[in-house]
Amino acid sequence: MTDLFIILLFGLFMATSFTLIKIGGLFLQKGFKKEVANELDYTHLIIEWIFWIFCFSVFMYFFKGQHQIHKGVLIVIGILFGSILISFGFIVTPLLILLQKRKYTIAIEYQNWARATIDDRIQIRIIQQAQPNAYATGIFSSNKVILLSEALMNNLNEADIKNIIFHEYAHLKNNHLFILYLSNVLCCSISVLSSSYFYPLFESTSYPGLLVALHGALYGVLFIIIPGLVQRQLEFNADKYAAIAVGGSIYGKSLINLNTITNKGLEKKVIHYPHLNDRLKHVSNY
Ligand SMILES: [Zn+2]
């Protein structure tokens, strides 16, 4: 087998595993029903799958040639790869959505309203998505866009949609995506540097199991807990902006309505997203 074949095979295997885990997780979360299968965005999944084949193949290419490459270059590649991996949901996913031009339309009325009342450069688009969702995307001012899903537009009233736009705008105005990405790069840098320190120790220590466990725990803290806590703070910050703009109790009602249309999506106990009750308590201060 040629090297190129092995590299591509690795990329294909990892990308396929990733995609299957993602689809499997969705079914586990929502139940093994036909509606869940119908809701899947297959074009999006295929684009994402090709993206992963590319990423993992490039990773393998450098990994296989690591003895000829300077260690510093390897560390930089490791940091870039890892930081994109943990930032995938908020950097790559919205960009993939925007690449599918057929799939969105400009939310002209809301955009006109937002340009007149919030910021005259604001861009708002409606994406075809069966789940109620809102995203803020773009790091540079020229490509900052707020994406609202069709399901969100159809199920929330006008006032609630405007309040959600305030929240998403705060993410863009305060450069939250950039802050989150930087904190991911920082966590990744610490983990890659710690690995290059730990790996030689694995061979020389008499407690390799303990070292591997400690190293794994450090990875958990760096890849899950710290990015989660940062994202959580940024959510509170965007809520604060919206609450100051429209009033805490009015904004709180929009959060409750959003929770209803997402089947209690705001009541999940996850580290990276504050629980609805904490958000309501927080916004009641404004
Ligand atoms: Zn948010």
Model confidence over 163-191: pLDDT tens digits? 999 999 999 999 998 898 899 889 888 88
Å from CA of 217 to ligand 1 middle: 28
Å from CA of 138 to ligand 1 middle: 14
- CA separation for the pair 101, 277 (Å, rounded): 37
The two three-digit tokens of residue 72, written as one number: 């510093």
- CA separation for the pair 221, 228 (Å, rounded): 9
For 136, residues 6+ apart whose C-beta sits below 8 A from its C-beta are 144, 145, 146, 147, 168, 169, 171, 172, 176, 177
156: number of Cβ within 10 Å:
21
Å from CA of 183 to ligand 1 middle: 17
pLDDT of residue 240: 97
Model confidence over 75-126: pLDDT tens digits? 888 788 778 777 777 777 777 777 766 678 999 999 999 999 999 999 999 9
Q: Name residues with Cβ closer than 5 Å to ligand 1, which is an ion.
A: 235, 238
Stated pTM of the model: 0.79
Å from CA of 237 to ligand 1 middle: 9
